């Protein structure tokens, strides 16, 4: 069984996640990673995870 993210290890996991993303050598791999990550953030945003208008989206304020 895989280890899980907890509130205690979240900073470590996110740090490793960033290191992994930045270590991808191929530009296409980085693009795919960003595409998948954007889909994940869009999924969260659809449930108002970043405010009703996306004002708290980590990618930047989504209000027009």
Residue pair 44/50 in contact (Cβ under 8 Å)? The answer is yes
Q: Count of domains in the chain?
A: 1
pLDDT of 37-54, one tens digit each?
Answer: 999 999 999 999 999 999
Can you give the pLDDT at residue 64? 85
Please report, for residues 1, 8, 17, 42, the alpha-carbon distance to residue 37 in angstroms, rounded to integers and kept in the order given: 23, 22, 11, 9
Extract the tokens encoding 63: 């209000």
Residue pair 17/24 in contact (Cβ under 8 Å)? The answer is no
pLDDT of 3-41, one tens digit each?
Answer: 999 999 999 999 999 999 999 988 999 999 999 999 999
Can you give the pLDDT at residue 37? 94
Domain assignment present for 33:
yes
Domain assignment present for 63:
yes
Can you give the pLDDT at residue 2? 87
Can you give the pLDDT at residue 45? 97
Residue 61 C-alpha from the chain's centroid: 15
Q: Which residues form the domain of 59?
A: 26-64
Q: Report d(CA 6, CA 32) in Å as an integer.
A: 26
């Amino acid at each position: 069984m895989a280890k899980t993210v907890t509130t205690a290890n979240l900073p470590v996991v996110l740090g490793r996640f960033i290191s992994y993303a930045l270590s991808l050598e191929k530009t296409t791999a980085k693009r795919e990673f960003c595409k998948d990550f954007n889909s994940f953030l869009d999924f969260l945003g659809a449930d108002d995870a970043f405010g009703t208008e996306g004002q708290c989206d980590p990618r930047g304020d989504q209000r027009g």
